[in-house]
Amino acid sequence: MPKQVTLQQFGELWTSGELARMVPDHVKPKRSVEQDVYRFDRHIYPIAGRVPIASFTLDDAERVMRALPSMSPASRCHIAQLLHRLMAMAVFPCRLLAANPLPRGFLPKLGSAKVKACLYPDEDARLLACTAIQLCWRVLWGFLNREGPRISEAARLQVQDVDLNRGALRLEKIKTNDPRAWALSPGVPQALRAWLALRGTPAPSAPLFINEEGERFSVEHAAERFRAHLQLAGIDRPELFEDSDERQQVRAHDTRSTFITVALANSRSETWVADRTGHRSSIVIQRYRRAARTFAELGLGELASLAEAVPKLGGNVTGNGTEEGEGGTARRKLLINSNTWPRAEMADAVDLKGGLGRGKRGEAGELPGKSDGGGDGSRRLERGCDDSEGARDDSIGGSGAGGERVGEGVGARGASVRAMLLVQLGEGLAAAIVAGDVESARVAHEAIGRLLGGPTPPQGEVAADVLDLARERERRGR
């Protein structure tokens, strides 16, 4: 190696893996290379990239640190660590320097840890149900909240790393070089199976999680993206976005905080948590005990199943693309716009098992997650994240065996009767659809619309931009 190699050239030898190939006994390939390349390119190379390694001094390092924009102490420490590691390798095994120019106390002091934020179960549900957020990101956030890996580890996962038949995950390309495997949470295998089917069953070596362009997502600016998605879903709890001396605003990395807090609050052991997060010491896990006790005292419970929290992933997708619900019953999504409901306002999505839900603009016809109240008579009609104009706030939900919960905009009087009627009408509408009885489907659909307070046009008139079911029946020859 030439003595006049610059800091940038030496750094690129390291991040490209070439240095590990040159001296494999002393330098190992770096796992978290994507983030380090970004830090080098953004903060180090523009300031000191052309300085020869043999001439690099403490003054050069301090110039880099002084030029850093406002960032957290941890981020500043990461950059200082990169400089220190480069100089250490330049001393040995590369022998470009006689001694490390950066003294032991060069690394910034981190100080006391700030309070980390985490999501409540209802906030997680709102985030994953918001169709204004692209499906690829909702799948990622839901997976991280329920399984606890680092976001950089999730970015490196491939399709072949999950065994969807057995519900297991193996994580081998990780920061700590400590491969681990575990059983996925209930609902996650089903959701991932549906997610891969929507992508056309990608190759085993394809990334498990992708961005809007269908490529492996980048961890750069993940914190800003996560906060933006929370706000888009209407989640505005002040402590999530507070950045002070005591508290850190929520980041994508804090999906691990959500995972650990919820797990401990629901009596999971430290070993169970560490198997998934990769923590080697219980000291870090213990930091979440107080928040977990608060969760337990409030009775917040578990996060909803990922397959139910993201409506589009709620069915088991077979090889031919047909979605199946519980017990193998086929689920169909029918977008009907009768003369009761203008197309721009609402589309009903009907489950053959009787679950009735509102379609949403952005991903029309996406079914809301089922209520896990447990009773056969418990069905939910709920608002979700609807950004369309004139969206109603009415909600009817199940909260136990045969129970109904009445939301805002619906009076308590007669709520149980109305909920029962909606369930029965939903089942009748589904049966009519299966039988191809368009006239019966129209009547049931209009009755549902009136129960929900929909506008009814004058007799004989048809609202603009709607589907004429009578004409559709004639077209089909029924």
Answer whether residue 425 is part of any domain: yes
Question: What's the pLDDT at 287?
Answer: 87
Is position 145 within any domain? yes
246 shares its domain with 349 = no
Cα-to-chain-centroid distance, residue 40: 28
Confidence (pLDDT) at 59: 97
Same domain, 125 and 200: yes
For 146, the domain range is: 121-306
Last residue of a domain, one of 106, 132, 155: 106
Q: Are residues 94 and 138 in the same domain?
A: no
Q: What's the confidence (pLDDT) of residue 115?
A: 82
Q: Are residues 71 and 150 in the same domain?
A: no
The residue written with tokens 């914190």 in the block is 223
- Domain of 289, CATH number, reads 1.10.443.10
Whether residue 148 contacts residue 118, with contact meaning beta carbons closer than 8 Å, is answered with no
Q: Exposed, middle or buried, 375 (CB in 10 Å: 0-12/13-18/19+)?
A: middle
Residues of the chain with pLDDT below 70 are 31-32, 111, 173-177, 315-420, 423, 430-436, 438, 453-478
Do 175 and 134 fall into the same domain? Answer: yes
Whether residues 349 and 434 fall in one domain = yes
Helices (H), 233-288: 238-241, 255-265, 270-277, 282-286
Q: Distance between CA 353 and CA 323 in Å, rounded?
A: 13
Statement to judge: residues 174 and 257 lie in one domain:
yes
The reply to whether 359 falls in a domain is: yes
User: What is the structure's pLDDT at 87?
Assistant: 96
Q: Are residues 338 and 297 in the same domain?
A: no
Tell me which of 77, 106, 135 is where a domain ends: 106
Choose one of 78, 106, 134: the last residue of a domain.
106
Per-residue tokens: 21? 């190939």
Both 300 and 388 in a single domain? no
Residue 19 covered by a domain: yes
Residues 80 and 190 in one domain: no
pLDDT of residue 298: 93
pLDDT, tens only, 143-160: 999 999 999 999 999 999
Task: Name the domain count of the chain.
Answer: 3
79 and 140 in a single domain? The answer is no
pLDDT of residue 473: 54
